[in-house]
Structure 1
Amino acid sequence: MHSEHPPLFLKIAAWGGVIFLHFPLVIIALYAFNTEDAAFSFPPKGFTLHWFSVAAGRSDILDAVMLSVKVAALATALALVLGTLAAAALWRREFFGKNAISLLLLLPIALPGIITGIALLTAFKTLNFEPGFLTIVVGHATFCVVVVFNNVIARFRRTAYSLVEASMDLGADGWQTFRHVILPNLSTALLAGGMLAYALSFDEIIVTTFTAGHERTLPLWLLNQLGRPRDVPVTNVVALLVMLVTMIPILGAWWLTRDGEMVAGGGK
């Protein structure tokens, strides 16, 4: 009989990886509360909420936050529609090129962000679209669609098509079948996919750099702050808030899909 418990060195390696990944985040969170007169000292000298009030009073921060919220909301809505329709099309029918289409849908999130960003910028320039709000939304939607598609197609594969056939046999039309049979089965997958897509869009920076033009989302604002050392305390506060905003939907998506064996990413 093999032991169900992993070896000690694997546990140590796992915890070491977790600490390595999260230690910088802890430092940022810690310095967001550092005292006003010792913002650059180590170790921190005290606790204060002063920098939070400073950040709340900065119009440039509020504008960047609102832009990121709008972009993430629109990109997520677009991804929910396109990702769900793509998943439904690939679930119901077998046809030539189905695997190729699945691969093409996954490529935007598999490719490095800089490749996707350059490709999008080239396409927009070819079509004479000036980079701005709409190009950011389209750029974010390209990888948000993948997240929604993965979750929805995984749920479709766990849904018996006989339910749809039974609904049709009982006299339901296509819309009634979708509303009363398919949608309830997809609800948590759609919610989880939407939450993940929103989190990814809210803190995306690489693709945004190529598609933003003169617009400045919150991640771009943070990148610009790297050249302003006197604003480090405020930057830490904003970075902490971004971490919290993106962490909550990711944890929520995990909780909604924690029992699904075929949820996208579950086998990784």
Structure 2
Amino acid sequence: MQLSRSARIAVRAAAGLGFAVIYVPLLLVLVNSLSPDRSASWPPPGLTTRWWSAAWHSSGAREALWTSVRAGLGATAIALVLGTLIAFAVARYRFFGRDALSFVVVLPIALPGIVTGIALNSAFSTVLEPLGVGLGLFTVVVGHATFCVVIVFNNVVARLRRTSGSYEEAAADLGADTFRAFVDVTFPLVRSALLAGGLLAFALSFDEIVVTTFTAGPGVQTLPLWIFDNMTRPQQAPVVNVVAAVLVLLSVVPIYVAQRLSADTATASRV
């Protein structure tokens, strides 16, 4: 489709405005983390790395970072197992309720986070507390896994639908059992989809705050919760800017890698 010169200019201007709305605030966070002032000011009077050193020596920020990493790894592990199993069931088998199962699996990502958080908090209080299991890191991992499963499921099921089941059938005809066919044939075909789904699930878990607020116990504080609790404290404002900048960078890396993996796989499948 050919666009007129004025239409191309309008589209580019709209795209530039949209990108500016998204990325300029992120750049401001990075600039403020290097500003010597404790309060946000523009333009910054200079540049310093003092706040980065202070953030590095902040025990609260380091503990919150480690908690976020553990929660993200736990939720990703659960999502990889459950999401992959459900994806294989939906893509490779025909059974009653298959479409309903797909809908139920994908639904949590569409629900508002506060609704999921309230529902999980109520369920944990009703089921786990009578058993002596209170809110803590375990409940955070389970809460994050509810929506991380969707990410893995979508990646794996999309790959399986583009991959013919004749490969597994050929392996079975050659004498391979189910496990051997999966290891030698199926897993190499879906490996990049699993990695991309795992990276996206970890990134989604790492910066989640709404569900975490309702599922974390009094002694559990992830990095987003630490930022939220300290952003109103004037003395902590520069350190919060540093931690927020680090959070953005840590979230970008897995998303970029997952996007590259998905792009490379799509190109290879067309070839």
Deviations 1:198-257 (A, max 9, x none): 000010000000000211110000000122022111100000000000000001100000
What is residue 179 of structure 2 aligned with on the other side? Answer: 175
Amino acid at match of 1:63: E
For residues 121 and 95 of structure 1, the distance between their equivalents in structure 2, rounded to whole angstroms, comes to 33
What is residue 217 of structure 1 aligned with on the other side? Answer: 222
Name the structure with the higher helix share: 2
Output the TM-score relative to the length of structure 2.
0.92
Q: How far did 1:4 drift?
A: 7.2
What is residue 235 of structure 1 aligned with on the other side? Answer: 240
Amino acid at match of 1:22: Y
Q: How far did 1:97 drift?
A: 1.2
For residues 26 and 39 of structure 1, the distance between their equivalents in structure 2, rounded to whole angstroms, comes to 16
Structure 2 contact 39–234 (Cα < 8 Å) conserved = no
Q: Secondary structure at the match of 1:66?
A: helix
Structure 2: gaps (5+ residues): none
* 1:75-154 map, 5 Å: 75-127=75-127, 128=129, 129-154=133-158
Q: How far did 1:196 drift?
A: 0.3
Structure 2 contact 38–237 (Cα < 8 Å) conserved = no
Is 1:59 matched up with 2:59? yes
What is residue 3 of structure 1 aligned with on the other side? Answer: 2
For residues 93 and 41 of structure 1, the distance between their equivalents in structure 2, rounded to whole angstroms, comes to 59
Q: How far did 1:43 drift?
A: 1.1
For residues 61 and 142 of structure 1, the distance between their equivalents in structure 2, rounded to whole angstroms, comes to 26
For residues 154 and 92 of structure 1, the distance between their equivalents in structure 2, rounded to whole angstroms, comes to 12
Structure 2 contact 38–234 (Cα < 8 Å) conserved = no
Structure 2 contact 38–235 (Cα < 8 Å) conserved = no
For residues 40 and 181 of structure 2, the distance between their equivalents in structure 1, rounded to whole angstroms, comes to 61
Structure 1 contact 76–141 (Cα < 8 Å) conserved = yes
Output the TM-score relative to the length of structure 1.
0.93
Structure 2 contact 38–238 (Cα < 8 Å) conserved = no
For residues 62 and 261 of structure 1, the distance between their equivalents in structure 2, rounded to whole angstroms, comes to 38
Identity across matched positions, percent: 48
Aligned residues, how many? 260
Deviations 1:22-81 (A, max 9, x none): 11111100011112x565432101111111110111111111011000110111011000
Q: How far did 1:8 drift?
A: 2.4
For residues 234 and 33 of structure 1, the distance between their equivalents in structure 2, rounded to whole angstroms, comes to 10
For residue 165 of structure 1, the aligned residue among 169, 174, 181 is 169
For residues 39 and 234 of structure 2, the distance between their equivalents in structure 1, rounded to whole angstroms, comes to 11
What is residue 252 of structure 2 aligned with on the other side? Answer: 247
What is residue 265 of structure 1 aligned with on the other side? Answer: none
For residues 210 and 246 of structure 2, the distance between their equivalents in structure 1, rounded to whole angstroms, comes to 20
Runs of 4+ in 1 over 4 A off after TM superposition: 259-262
For residues 105 and 259 of structure 1, the distance between their equivalents in structure 2, rounded to whole angstroms, comes to 27
Structure 1 contact 67–216 (Cα < 8 Å) conserved = yes
What is residue 205 of structure 2 aligned with on the other side? Answer: 201
For residues 247 and 264 of structure 2, the distance between their equivalents in structure 1, rounded to whole angstroms, comes to 28
Is 1:34 matched up with 2:35? yes
RMSD (Å), alpha carbons: 1.6
Structure 1 contact 196–250 (Cα < 8 Å) conserved = yes
Q: How far did 1:7 drift?
A: 2.9
